[in-house]
A and B are shown apart, each in its own frame.
Chain A
């Protein structure tokens, strides 16, 4: 078993190119107004470049979107009225950090990663989605910073003798971003367990 681990460790420093799906949870009251179930589902791309046989520089981008329809009731007048509008939230996260792992054998390894995380959020509000030119369209943007840490398991399948491997992985961790002001419209914070599953090439 020990020899298998050592062989795997020697394979830990491949270049990487991945696509993945991530889910980030948060119990943030602001985000709960923008997302129906309070979590952010994103798709992402991630690349890695080996700095050392046990250390990979990783960088990635994730994009998630959520929509919500609001109904509000004005009871200040004699006969009250109900109005509605929609929101669309687009969250882009840019990540850069380090990943390190050790192989269990030729085709599997455990790893851990710590990355800095920059969030660029856009929130759009529209009270008449059928009219693209109505004045009730509001757009706000904001930038926030944080960190994520995760541990994962990866397995790779060689693609013939090309030196390429097709990898599949899953990771679980925690993402924390400081409260981020999206213009004056929203203040959101990603602060919770996050998970990713993905696939990519190792070469």
Chain B
């Protein structure tokens, strides 16, 4: 009777009771697609689509439980690796998973392409191995190459598994073409015209023809294979690959090796570029038609031009671990224990440097600025203000300016209240902004990169992640058990918060799916 009165007085004065410990209700690693945000609910074994109008709905996976979500580049849906329980017991009274005797209970897996809240073709993709965990997309966004990028995670083997297969999926029709190449694909690149795919695997690089109109090679056939070694006992593991601007050459670096392979994709030949150190990163400077190498073991930047592949070396003050292209040149930085952020002109070899107060955690490049989150510096014993910076997380703004011989504009270093948990960039007619999330702080900081001032956008709960949405908004995930997403409009700072979607299927029995099909 008491509960009746409580409902009348305060319906949210919930009755007390027991306590249950359950699997995570939702996975904050959401996928933002053009038609909504897809969220995996591990406890309920469901996939929900959350829309910015505050509604959410379950995606019909025919009883399967989503295990992995793989976003698409264009935001046109997502790939879902799903599992579903199978009970080898035809007793009609066996309805729920719990009803099935343990020895008769099994699991099957499948991969589906989900668009607009439903599976394309209302079925799983034909023959795609559920072990896939990585996808690369063609430049026109119409084709996906799914493969296993093995990183130590547990692999479920059901019968026979070919871990070396790449599945090319047409995102419009859901049709699948599978190509087995080499051993353990590491990286895949589509050529600029999307007519070929370059697949790096252990000890070889394969080029697959994707063009059915080609006269040289059948579509979905491996046209050329470049062996990276002639010794079958030697395992050469590609580390990175870049394509030159016109797609005629691919440069392949090898794990723990100083050599870089230059693959001529037109004349089908292979050459070797010998470096003095093992490169930590490489990137193509398309404007100058050069490839830039940086090293974590040497204070040097190497440049190779793309006509004769001649190498030029330029000394710097500190080693770098990463290099990225900007609007005015290449930007090299170190995310280990060094502080220099170097803007480098690959055509002239000139460079200038800016200083990050703390070691870089994550660096993003906008049109006129690079921004970086920085961690406390445990290796430097500064004093005064420097010591204060060393002890705290930081945020750096690095104006990007051409290397002209003049001193670069000074970087701005800001001290953060707590560890940064998310960083994104936005821009409007007024300027460029960084959106920054801090651990345990229920505001989103919108930092104007022009004057380093920040607006605080209130959130309903401490955030745990941020990502871009195809519609230009940002998705901030909140730390709650019932699920919380905030759709943030970076133009007017408007926030729409949707919560509660993780309650979908919270208290529902796990029903054995597809029993009729089996019969």
Q: Which residues of A contact B (CB under 8 A)?
A: 28-31, 33-37, 43, 63, 65-77, 81, 83-88, 90, 123-129, 132, 134-140, 182, 184-188
Q: Give every chain A residue within 8 A of B464 (Cβ-Cβ).
A: 77, 81
Contact across chains for A67 and B500 when beta carbons are under 8 A apart: no
Contact B20 A129 (CB under 8 A): no
A69 touches B482 (CB 8 A): no
On whether the beta carbons of B15 and A66 are closer than 8 Å, the reply is: yes
Q: Which residue of A lies closest to B27 (CB)?
A: A76
Nearest Cβ on chain A to B67's Cβ, whole angstroms: 12
Count, A-B residue pairs, CB within 8 A:
151
Q: Can you name the residue of chain A whose Cβ is closest to the Cβ of B461?
A: A136
Q: Counting CB contacts under 8 A, is B11 at the interface?
A: yes
Residue of A with least CB distance to B484: A136
Chain B residue with minimal CB distance to A80? B24
Known: A33-B506, A77-B28. A88 touches B15 (CB 8 A): yes
14 more contacts with CB within 8 A, not counting A70-B22, A85-B480, A135-B497, are A29-B96, A63-B3, A69-B18, A72-B481, A76-B24, A87-B507, A123-B507, A125-B503, A125-B506, A129-B12, A136-B499, A137-B500, A184-B505, A187-B509
Complexed CA–CA distance, A37 and B28 (Å): 31
Q: Determine if B14 is an interface residue (Cβ-Cβ < 8 Å).
A: yes
| B509 proximity list for chain A (CB < 8 A) | 28-30, 187
B16 interface residue per 8 A CB criterion? yes
How many angstroms from the CA of A81 to the CA of B464 in the assembled complex?
Answer: 10
Interface majority SS (helix, strand, loop, mixed), chain A: strand
| Shortest Cβ gap from A97 to chain B (Å) | 23
Separation of A28 and B507 alpha carbons in the complex (Å): 10
Q: Given A68-B19, A81-B464, A135-B460, A76–B28 Cβ distance below 8 Å?
A: yes
Does B191 sit at the interface, judged by CB under 8 A?
Answer: no
Within 8 A of A (CB), among B492-509: 497-500, 503-509
Which B residues are CB-close (under 8 A) to A28? 509
Chain A nearest Cβ from B464, distance in angstroms? 7
Residues from chain A with a CB closer than 8 A to the CB of B11 are: 124, 139
Contact in complex: B3, A90 (CB < 8 Å): yes
Q: Which residues of B contact A86 (CB under 8 A)?
A: 14
Query: Which chain B positions have C-beta within 8 A of A87?
Result: 14, 506-507
- Let me know if B347 is at the binding interface, CB within 8 A: no
Interchain CB contact under 8 A, B484 and A126: no
Q: Which 9 A-B pairs have the closest CB atoms?
A: A36-B18, A88-B14, A67-B17, A83-B481, A33-B507, A67-B15, A186-B507, A65-B3, A29-B509
Pick the contact of B507: A77, A84, A126, A185 (CB < 8 A): A185
Q: When the two chains form their complex, are residues A69 and B19 in contact, meaning their CB atoms are under 8 A apart?
A: yes
Q: How far is the CA of A124 from the CA of B11 in the complex (A)?
A: 9
Q: Given the complex, which residues of A lie within 8 Å of B142, measured CB to CB?
A: none
- B460 and A76 form a contact (CB under 8 A): no
- A60 → B minimal CB distance (Å): 15
Segment 504-519 of B: residues with Cβ below 8 Å from A: 504-510
Q: Which residues of A contact B22 (CB under 8 A)?
A: 70-72
